[in-house]
Amino acid sequence: MDEDILLIDKPAGWTSFDVVAKIRGMIKARYRARDEKPTKRQLKVGHAGTLDPFATGLLIVLLGDATKKAGDFLKLDKLYEATIHLGVTSTTGDPEGELTPVSDTIPTIERVQEALNGLTGEITQVPPAYSAIKIGGRRAYDLARQGKEVEIPSRQVTIHSIELLEYNYPEVKIRTHVSSGTYIRTLAEDIGKALSTGAYCSELRRTQIGEWRIENATTLEAPKLDFS
């Protein structure tokens, strides 16, 4: 693995910025132990694709000059495993929002599979208001938290595949291969609309970005991270 690219298995409850700050702190501590002062380049840390705080899984962290490559990673396809909770909607599309019961209808597994099939291919998505997208120079989630109306343009994304892993109402577990720019929270809401039940994404794990796989990632508790 390129020594300037770290694959991190992000734990739930951490923001992507939290992970970046943690690794920057580890770098500082390493140089401090050597009684050395790191350069600005050595302290440059970034990530290539945000993961929501509730989500876990693969986060690519870039060090030094590798931070200039962030855009290349953002264009790559991604693989996720997600749990969709039917019958309830969330203001944020995830467990952190205000939950509202919508329906107690229990769709058949055939109806669920039909809904998944209907969302495969090139589709139009409207990213969630609680997202890191910038609107007028400000993050959409900042505006949404202030109670301001957030209008985000729709976008074309590609859902290459959605595999139904398990269905035990109200939970639908899927594995999905998607293009860059796809929001799984929005996909969950679209599944709920297709089933007329409402839905939100209760669990989310990113397992692959391009050729980079979660199996090769390390946790933040790992005894040694290979950076200089």
* 82 and 41 in a common domain: no
Domain assignment present for 226: no
Total domains, the chain: 2
Instruction: Please identify which of the residues 4, 35, 52, 77 carries the catalytic annotation.
Output: 52
Q: To the nearest whole percent, how much of the chain has pLDDT over 70?
A: 85
52 is catalytic: yes
**For residue 114, what is the domain's CATH number?**
3.30.2350.10
Q: Note the pLDDT tens digit of each residue in 58-79.
A: 999 999 999 988 888 989 999 9
Residue 225 has pLDDT above 50, yes or no: yes
Range of the domain at 204: 78-209
What tokens were used for 162?
């959605």
Query: Look-up: residue for tokens 């991604």?
Result: 78
CA distance 151 to 163: 31
For the stretch 106-164, pLDDT in tens is 999 999 999 999 999 999 997 765 555 555 555 555 544 545 566 667 789 999 999 99
Please indicate, yes or no, whether residues 190 and 116 belong to a single structural domain of this protein: yes
Do 114 and 45 share a structural domain? no
- What CA–CA distances, in Å, run from 73 to 48, 181, 187? 6, 12, 22
